[in-house]
Amino acid sequence: MFKKINPLRIVLIVLIIFIPLYPKFPLLNVGGTYVAIRLDDLVVALAVFVWFIYQIKNRFPILKQKIFYLFLAYYLAITASFFLALLIYQTDSPSILLLHLIRRFEYTSLFFIALTAIKSKKDLLFPYVSIIIATIFIIIYGYGQKYLQFPVISTMNSEFSKGQLLQMDSWTRINSTFAGHYDLAVFLSVVLVVIGGIIVISKNIWFKLFNIIVWLFSFHLLTLTASRVSTFAYFGGICLTIIILRKFLWIVPVSILFAASLISSKDLNQRLLATIPALKNQFFSAPVNTTITPTPLPITPTTIPIASTVPVIAYVTPIPTVFRHGPEEEFIPIDTDVGVARSGEIRFNAEWPRAINAFFKNPVFGTGLGSITLATDNDYLRSLGETGLLGFCTFFAIFLSFILPSLSLTFKKRPSYHINLCLIFFAALITFLANATLIDAFEASKTAYLFWIMMAIFHYLLHSHSADDRPS
């Protein structure tokens, strides 16, 4: 009996549930940055060790997978960029540069673990059940933060990343078990597309109803994050799903619900309205100073005693607050219009030009991983700036290997259930890539881990579909 148990299946289940649910408490701080070694790093390292033992025992079956060589090309490109930054540009200390390189290997390693764990169609059930379980607990904790004052663990600035327990005020956007509301929003936007697609193609009424309930609560949680990028990425992704599945009538309730959420969510509504004049001022007004100088505001934290020995710190702010990525961030209370404008200015006048300048400095190899600070808020410009055309092209060649065969599946006259699953994951991939245009989605550990697991499932679906496949 026990000989038939696939240990990597158990590892995969643990990873899918543990990674999104365990808060980002630091175990070991790394000098020169507020990025820390955490428990999830150790769990992933252990999972990689189990996977490597499996590979040795079975004479490295991963080498028979063609996609492995696409990843290998990417690994060689970023390694070349690392040595260039280390030996020539010296953009940071060797330990920090090595940390950024290892992180890229670490995040993508889950693709190979999941790919090895999934051997048959029956193995697809376990990841889906696991992500549903994780999503339910994420919803519960998110509502607990909103209504029951559950503590917030954040890495949105250097102080919070030390593992402080914080309390939400009335303006703070929910991050649930994630380290920031943007990370949670990216996760939910992709999960909503996957669950939504499953709902559309499912035949079992009870299974459909259960998924609808989880979907509705997940959607509401997404609106509470007030992330404009992820909200519209979700809407584009779910509409794409409905269109390629040819279930066009579903667009009506989805669109009505989306429009209602924009109107009913005060925070999201204000941020969307503020975006229009912010963009107008950005592109049609006189140029502004491109140097962003953070202004610290002396806010004294008040310690609130609780039953445990760990203090919960509450920051009392009468107006909304905005957190920016980067080691120099401060906790600055500002109103919505100013916050949206400042967010755009930081992207357009500081982060994006910095990445573009890095690219022109060395178009082939870039200036090295981590050389343009922790935030760029555009993963494509980050890839170009840090790893040049070589890293950019090898990285997105991986996605082309998914996108091109998926496009051919959309023209199937009578697609099977299995092909429909492929199309759902294709839409989920597009949703994630849309998020990456304005959010560092590939750099956030929780979203990156889960994304590569999803891509492994997608890979299995693409390379195992058959015309006569039917749901069991």
The pLDDT of residue 338 is above 70: no
Flag whether pLDDT at 60 surpasses 50.
yes
Least confident of 84-88, 365-369, 409-413, 417-421: 409-413
| More reliable by pLDDT, 414 or 226 | 226
Domain boundaries, the chain: 2-462
Q: Is the pLDDT of residue 12 over 90?
A: yes
d(Cα 403, Cα 120) in Å, to the nearest integer? Answer: 22
The rounded percent of the chain whose pLDDT value lies above 70 is: 77
In terms of phi and psi (left: phi > 0; alpha: psi -120 to 50; beta: otherwise), the region of 414 is beta
pLDDT over threshold 50, residue 397? yes
Cα 454 from Cα 438, distance rounded (Å): 21
pLDDT band at 69 (very low <50, low <70, confident <90, very high): very high
Kindly report which listed range (102-116, 202-216, 454-468) carries the lowest average pLDDT score: 454-468
Q: What is the pLDDT of residue 170?
A: 55
Q: Checking DSSP bridges between strand 312-314 and strand 165-167, what pairing results, if any? A: parallel
Average pLDDT along the chain: 81
Q: Residue-wise over 371-401: b if at least 16 C-beta within 10 A, else e?
A: bbbbbbbbbbbbbbbbbbbbbbbbbeebeee
Question: Would the pLDDT of 371 be above 90?
Answer: no
Cα separation, 367 vs 361, whole angstroms: 7
- pLDDT for 332 beyond 60: no
Each residue of 457-468: pLDDT tens digit?
999 999 886 444
Burial tier of 41 (Cβ tally within 10 Å: 0-12, 13-18, 19+)? middle
In angstroms, rounded to a whole number, what is the distance separating the alpha carbons of residues 307 and 326?
A: 33
**What is the per-residue pLDDT for 180?**
81
pLDDT bin (cut points 50, 70, 90) of residue 171 is low
pTM value?
Answer: 0.83
Quick one: average pLDDT of 271-300?
Answer: 50
